[in-house]
Structure 1
Amino acid sequence: MRLSLVRRTSAEFVGTALLVTAVVGSGIAAARLSPGDVGLQLLENAIATAFALGALILIFGPVSGAHLNPVVSAVDWWLGRRSGTGLTGPNLAAYGAAQATGAIAGAVLANLMFDLPATTWSQTDRTGANLWLAEVVATAGLVVLVFALARTGRTTTAPAAVGAYIGAAYWFTSSTSFANPAVTVGRTVSDTFAGIAPTSVPGFVIAQLVGGLLAVAALAAWYPDAGRAADAVLMPPLAQESETP
């Protein structure tokens, strides 16, 4: 069991790190390639992030489920706790720690690849009720999508579906769809196109947690037995298929 958890959390760490590297790195590249055209910069950033997310789910889904998001992991634990599926409490804590530290490491990696200081606090303020509302919507939609795919046995479509959702949410939400507390924290240490000021983080994280709660309520109404499929989020982890040595 111990080796299995190490295997899964290492996948969550690296997967979340590479996700943030894709977000921050493509943001830096977009700002340099298309100076003065914010719309084009956002398009470049969104496309790179969507494609990278799909690829990361393919890589890490069979190992850890490729949650890469503390809200997804928390809902997985909550829905699966009664049926004995999904993450246990200690596993949830380990996943959350791996995702948060991985996100910071990913931002540092992106900064270094573009010859920037390893860490610089972002000065980009992202605050206001409209942005918080956008984060509630983006996070709730993401979580409902993930668990709907698991419940209906369509996890093989998760890479394309989740990547497409995030790519679209870049454009239909005013916050550009962070929808992930770990990614939000990671983006504070890069003062670039994709950054967010540390003072803006609490509002975003609270909104994301509210979105997760709304998703739980929606799933209770639309997929009342979603908890039985918690082991399949986002893809069935191989490590959970054989816990015995």
Structure 2
Amino acid sequence: MTITLRRRVVAELLGTAFLVMAVVGSGIAASRLSPDDVGLQLLENSLVTGAALVALILALQPVSASFNPVVTVVERLLGMIDSRTTTALVAAQLAGGGVGVVLANLMFDLDAVTLSTRARAGGDLWLAEVVATFGLVLVIFGCLRTGRADHVALVVGGYITAAYWFTSSTSFANPAVTVARTLSDTFAGIQPANAPTFIACQVVGGALALAAVRFLFPITPALESAR
């Protein structure tokens, strides 16, 4: 790997690890601090996740800040990165998710890995994952394709915070995070058996969003120069 690609891999690994720590760790803290109020637990979980995303993207965006295999693959399909970079970044995101969930579990005095028993299945949740991922990809590339990359951190943090509430699945919208969440039997967990369908729905949402992005935000000479 070149030095540049190595830096991108490390950025993706660290960013995804901290994102998963935010999701899983805040879920554990919320369930302990507000044990009798699921709504408050979700509020705490969503605010922490959104805030962490803003901070992580602002810090790491100059190097690499996708933290999401669907976003990375869409970047490849739009010609923004090559296949070798795509493979390396997706691998880093998956590894980072594993590191993040283990650290989150350990920080709250749990076993490093415990397979989740939290069932998340059904047509409503699968539809929600399509919608959540579609929206995430749309807002990211709506900014990137119109020369507003400096807005991405706030847009993604705000969108994910909101999507926790307007989607019935609480907006996983990320295969690396989904896989990681199978390894924590806590508030944010998902049964391993339910994860493949969630990931398939995320891929569908990403594919639909790719078509929408190409239609809504074609790269014209003026936009290319603005970028």
TM-score band w.r.t. shorter chain: over 0.9
Provide, for residues 88-112 of structure 1, a one-character-per-residue CA deviation record: whole Å limited to 9, x for no partner: 0011000010000100110000000
CA contact (8 A) 2:146 2:217 kept: no
**Runs of at least 4 residues off by over 2 Å:** none
CA contact (8 A) 2:120 2:191 kept: yes
CA distance in 1: counterparts of 2:61 and 2:184, whole angstroms: 27
CA contact (8 A) 1:150 1:229 kept: no
Structure 1: runs of 5 or more not aligned: 81-85, 237-245
Provide, for residues 171-225 of structure 1, a one-character-per-residue CA deviation record: whole Å limited to 9, x for no partner: 0000000000000001111000000110000110000000011001111221122
Measured at CA, do residues 229 and 55 of structure 1 come closer, stay the same or move farther in structure 2, by a change above 3 Å?
farther
CA distance in 2: counterparts of 1:45 and 1:229, whole angstroms: 37
1:115 aligns with one of 109, 112, 116: 109
Structure 1 equivalent of residue 192 of structure 2: 198
Aligned length: 225
Q: CA deviation at 1:158?
A: 1.2
Q: Secondary structure at the match of 1:62?
A: coil
Matches within 5 A, 1:57-136: 57-64=57-64, 66-80=65-79, 86-136=80-130
Structure 2 equivalent of residue 243 of structure 1: none
Report whether the alignment pairs 1:211 with 2:195. Answer: no
CA distance in 2: counterparts of 1:8 and 1:79, whole angstroms: 18
Amino acid at match of 1:55: A
TM-score by length of 2: 0.96
TM-score by length of 1: 0.89
1:160 aligns with one of 154, 163, 167: 154
Q: CA deviation at 1:13?
A: 0.3
CA contact (8 A) 1:134 1:173 kept: yes
What RMSD over aligned residues (CA atoms) do the two structures have, in Å? 1.7
Q: Secondary structure at the match of 2:62?
A: helix
Amino acid at match of 2:191: A
Structure 1 equivalent of residue 6 of structure 2: 6
CA distance in 1: counterparts of 2:51 and 2:174, whole angstroms: 17
Q: CA deviation at 1:229?
A: 7.9
Amino acid at match of 2:157: G
Q: Secondary structure at the match of 2:182?
A: helix
Amino acid at match of 2:69: P
Structure 1 equivalent of residue 176 of structure 2: 182
